[in-house]
Every structure is written in C-alpha cells, then in structure tokens.
Amino acid sequence: MKNKLPYETTGRAIKGYTESAIAKGETNDCVVRAFASSFEISYDYAHKFVAEEFKRQPRRGTFFTASKMVKLSECNIKVNGKKVCPVGTPTKNPLLPHSLSYPVKVKVTGTDKLYKIVNRQMTVGTFVKKNPKGTFFVLVKGHAFTIKDGVVIGNPEDAVKARRPMRAAFEIK
C-alpha cells in the first residue's frame, strides 16, 4: 500500500502486555497503550497511572487527554525518567493547547493572485516525514497511539491511515 507506515504490534512494543490480566479485560484503552509504549513502562503500570492522573474508568475511554498531557509537561512530572514536551504552536484553546497546522502555498483560480497561503492541519504521514527520530505520543480524533523513530505502535489501521489529521502530539524525552 502506498501510504502505509512501518508498524509494530502492541504485544511486542509494550512490556508485559501479552501477560497482563488487566489488558485482557480492557477495551477503549488506546491512551493506556500509547502511554505504556511512549514511556517504555509496563501496561499494568500505565493502566494505574492513567486511571489515577487522567481519571480514566476501566473499559472506558480517556477524556481531555491533550490538556492532561500539557499539565504533566507544565508540572515537570517525569514517568520512567522521561518528560512530556508538547509539539506545535501554543493556542488559547484549553482542549487543544498546541496547534499542528502549518502554512502551505496554494494556487488560486479565477483571481489575479497566483497563490495564497492557507493553514493545513498536520497529517500522520507528514508528521512522520518531518519527525523521523524520537518518541511521540500522538492524538487523532477519538484515538491515541505512539510513533517511535517513524514506527507506529497502536492499532494496525493507525499505520494505514497516514492522511489522518492529527489533533496533538507530545514528544517524550
């Protein structure tokens, strides 16, 4: 497939995922899995951390993840010796505190101007091209996954949907 990105299964990327009794009974845990693979911690530890710090309920999604990740960054909270660094331009929107939009020159038809500058939202494929190295906790609409050195760790379709617009990204250093 043309736009497919490199992919690694969560079972191989997350410590203790295949053995975890908690993981076997979970659904809607993409933030937990992304957190575990981003910070290189066990699934069970990530599950406990996200439940306590992000107020996630078992078998339910995690809400307001971007603002909670920014709070981890602002409070200099480290997990497994790694800190969170928001990627993008700061905004005044508390739900999406950093913008991943970028300017693009677009040809205008029917006017005297040949080109105009418009802002485009970063896609997963463009993000991987611009950030080939590093570990990133990525949020798209209703979902989270990890990109580590250009390799997607999450659901298999996350590597196929390279044109999916991103909501937020956080570098884990």
Domain ranges for the chain, please list them. 7-172
Check pLDDT > 90 for residue 155: yes
**pLDDT digit string (tens) for 14-27?**
999 999 999 999 99
User: pTM value?
Assistant: 0.92
**pLDDT digit string (tens) for 103-152?**
988 888 877 768 888 999 999 999 999 999 999 999 999 999 999 999 99
Average pLDDT over residues 54-82: 95
Average pLDDT over residues 66-89: 95
Phi, psi (degrees; rounded to nearest 5) at 95? -80, -35
Q: Percent of the chain at pLDDT above 70?
A: 98
Q: Which of 11, 9, 61 is nearest to 32 (CA)?
A: 61
How many degrees, rounded to 5, is the angle at CA 128 between CA 122 and CA 2?
Answer: 95
Bigger pLDDT: 116 vs 75:
75
Check pLDDT > 60 for residue 1: no
